[in-house]
Homo-oligomer: A and B are copies of this chain.
Amino acid sequence: MIKAGIVGATGYTGSELLRILALHPDVEVSVVTSRSEAGKAVSDRFPHLRAYNDLKFTDPSIKILAECDVVFFATPHGVAQAMMPEFINSGLKVIDLSADFRLKDSDLWAKWYNQPHGCPELIEHAVYGLPEVNRATIKDANLIACPGCYPTAIQLGFLPLLENNLVDTSRLIADAKSGVSGAGRAANVSALLSECADSFKAYGASGHRHSPEIRQGLNGFSESEVSLTFVPHLVPMIRGIEATLYAELTSDLPLEKIQALYEKRYENEPFVDVMPLGSLPETRSVKGSNYCRIALHQQADSNTIIVLSVIDNLVKGASGQAVQNMNLMFGLDEQAGINQVPLMP
């Protein structure tokens, strides 16, 4: 059994890792750290894990974690950076779910996260953990920067359009909507049920931290420079991201041909589902699962292509994708532990 450690397991991505790994056939969680909860039983904090986890939270310590084969960071940005050199030097494989190693430009990182990057020397070393793009390099990596939730849904949605050079990349629009769990488990007034239930709003409309990550990703598979307008919104639901993507077609390929390119691109991807033309993917159709479902639309007399892309922000947008990366890094079945049917209704 592969021994896994989780740093910062009291948030949603941490508890979601615990849920997924509880039934993973090849992995055993052996260390779970939390400064604030050290000494307490995991199942006291997370009653849904009763019978599945009898660990106690411990203080994060390289000494204890070094006995693991893989360590997940489910921490706020800034935490993984500080500890990373020691972890990598000790030969651990690390999967970082935070934003710390996603951007290749440490100045850009510093600008968007309002602090200097704590470990610029390892940025190049980190592999961006989007298996549909970087599967080969993921297999050999020992430091994975797990993509953000919005960036996952949006990159997978745009990918075949850009790879095939089908659209004007100078004015891409991504209007994305997320459930509240994307805001994490911190005690913020704005995430109270009484504040965000039965309401809807845009946020970060003048600029959001995921924008540079998405642009960097899109530029990675686009011939021409990408200009993107990204506006996230808060949906009164727990899990799920829907991204509605708009691009101007420069090609005169009919939609059916573009659909075929999407299907071709993703035919061997276990977790990307290109739905039939005209489908309307619901976030609930991926709830609790690692799937990304995508559908294409075009309106009459319009050369704007509309791509709808849905994921579960805590699974394909975080912990499920982290496990998918782990499976690749350890040569396991890519679907091990994450072959779960979405929960509907």
Q: A residues bordering B, Cβ < 8 Å?
A: 12, 15, 19, 22-23, 46-52, 171, 173, 175, 177, 179-181, 183, 185-189, 191-203, 205-207, 211, 227, 229-231, 233, 235-240, 242, 244, 246, 248, 273, 275, 278-289, 293, 295, 297-302, 304, 306, 308, 310, 339-345
Contacts and interface: CB of A to CB of B under 8 A. Distances in A.
A276 to B, nearest CB: 9
Given A194-B185, A235-B235, A201 B280 contact: yes
A282 B234 CA distance: 10
11 contacts: A175-B175, A185-B189, A185-B194, A187-B192, A199-B240, A201-B280, A202-B281, A206-B298, A207-B299, A207-B300, A288-B288
A8 to B, nearest CB: 15
A48 B202 contact: no
Contacts of A180: 192-194, 197
B46 A344 contact: yes
A343 B185 CA distance: 15
A238 B193 contact: yes
A330 to B, nearest CB: 21
Nearest to A236: B237
A340 B206 CA distance: 31
Q: 6 closest Cβ contacts across the A-B interface?
A: A199-B284, A48-B342, A175-B175, A201-B282, A205-B297, A187-B187
Contacts of A289: 48
A342 B15 CA distance: 11
Could you say which of A23, A46, A340 has the most chain B C-beta atoms within 10 Å of its C-beta?
A340
Given A193-B193, A297-B205, A302 B236 contact: no
